[in-house]
Amino acid sequence: MTVMHNHESVLADGAVFFIFGATGDLARRKLFPAIYSLYREGKLGERFAVIGLARRPRTQEQFREDVRASIDEFCRYDVQKDEDWGSFAKHFEYKPLDINNVDGFRELKEQTEHIEREFGIPGNRLFYLALAPDLFGSVSYNLRDGGLLDGTGWHRLVIEKPFGYDLPSAQKLNHELSGVFKEEEIYRIDHYLGKEMVQNIEVLRFANAFFEPLWNNKHIANIQISLAETVGVEERGGYYDQAGALRDMAQNHMLQMLTMIAMEPPSRLHPEDIRDEKVKVLRSLRQYRSMDEVHRNVVRGQYSAGVLNGKSLPGYREEEKVNPASVTETYFGARVFVDNFRWAGVPFYIRTGKRLPVKTTEVVVEFKSMPTNVYLGQKHNLEPNLLVIRVNPMEGIYVRINGKKPGSEGGIQPLAMDFCQSNMVGINTPEAYERLIFDAARGDSTYFTRWDEVASAWSFVDLIAEVWGESDKDLQLYPAGSWGPKQADELLEQDGFHWWPVNGQDESEVVWAK
């Protein structure tokens, strides 16, 4: 097996990874392929084991076959020769488990101790709960009561969103978990924080002399964050109809990206210092104080039947497992302000939606325009400078500036300098879950959300949800395949701005320098 060793990035003492929900979709699509990639890159060494846990009966052979099938389908590395597969597969075991039965956890403890002896692992245990949040509490209590948190090594709990449905439910969930685990042992995954270009925001800002001095309200006119999906609700209709875009995307992914863009430089490159700065941003968000403020600054949309790429698409209310009278939003747009000295007066426009024309996640930083009544501004329509950070599916950065058109007429045109991260790394760009699983195993919590971040985000979102309530009074329908309700465009037009095309679409005027 071709294994690249970088000793600074190897899990030195090893660990046992417990995957609760091991027969589920997340484990199949993300977790097993991520663990195989880490192994192929030499980051796990040989002192690790994975115990898959779920209700359904499986033999060890069946489980290992499932793992192999998931890697064949979803991993960025091909499984190599059979003997290489065998050396990896021996680290995997399966145990059927009723998570409400503490005796099963006692058996699991014995099995774990046997595995730790076999692989020379000193009691380090990472519990990954790929389960519904209402099961987190009982699993935590049974881990403790079954003796799995005894012993000498470290214990860490990794949990997936949604972390609650609102602030009270999140507080209840946190109370259950913190009765068993310390805050520093709880790793709340937001997979957007594992994405290459989201992590690159920090480096772009704090490692470049021509960005950081301009990163404030004196030089930036507005910031736009778009997270667009072409898909509908697919088979998630039952879950999505309870959640909606506000809870499913805005409370976590959108606000997390906003904190990365807006945070102050941390005093040290220490996970807690970085997370302190993110919390300060969330506390500085201007809360909507009234129904009127929500109506003025927030757009709530739901897709109706439409057409995308020549294909007819059903409306949201016609989707499987969705209430035919549903008022759940599939589009959320908002004008948000960060009330601190750096950002006072700069609008942040955020939008996320399903059944939009392009799948993309990107951040557009629009700089203030040059004076229009001085020198070149008198004769030419000068476009504003842009810095665009593309997070997904293309990863990269482009900077848009004004330059002279070739020839003697003296015209001015926008020029775009484009850097494509995906092209540089190729197909084997690390997946977000690889980074996050490895970070959790090393105890690096930088890109996980802390409880006070979660609480601050919910307190911002809850007032919007409360104003919306069960009524459809401000629900705007938009055809599937369009860019959402026209009210989202009006949010920017009121301030003299417009949404910039995403992924360089419709940039016919721009000359590209690649």
What positions carry a catalytic annotation?
253
Q: Which of 192, 464, 190 is nearest to 334 (CA)?
A: 464
Contact 442/11 with Cβ under 8 angstroms? yes
Helices in 90-190 by DSSP H: which ranges? 102-119, 136-145, 167-178
Integer Cα distance of 300 and 22 in angstroms = 36
Q: Which of 203, 227, 197, 159 is nearest to 18 (CA)?
A: 159
Tell me the residue type at 367: F
Q: Secondary structure of 417-473 in the HEC alphabet?
A: EEEEHHHHHHHHCCCHHHHHHHHHHHCCCCCCECHHHHHHHHHHHHHHHHHHCCCCC
User: HSE of 514 in the Cβ direction (CA atoms, 13 Å)?
Assistant: 7
Integer Cα distance of 293 and 202 in angstroms = 32
Q: Which of 312, 320, 128 is nearest to 241 (CA)?
A: 320
| Cis amide leading into 406 (omega within 30) | no
Neighbour count for residue 217 (Cβ, 10 Å): 15
Integer Cα distance of 493 and 333 in angstroms = 14
Radius of gyration of the chain from Cα atoms? 25
Helices in 157-297 by DSSP H: which ranges? 167-178, 196-206, 237-245, 255-262, 271-284, 291-297
Give the tokens for residue 177. 């978990």
Integer Cα distance of 91 and 85 in angstroms = 10
**Residue 392, beta-bridge partner list:** 361
Residues, the chain: 514
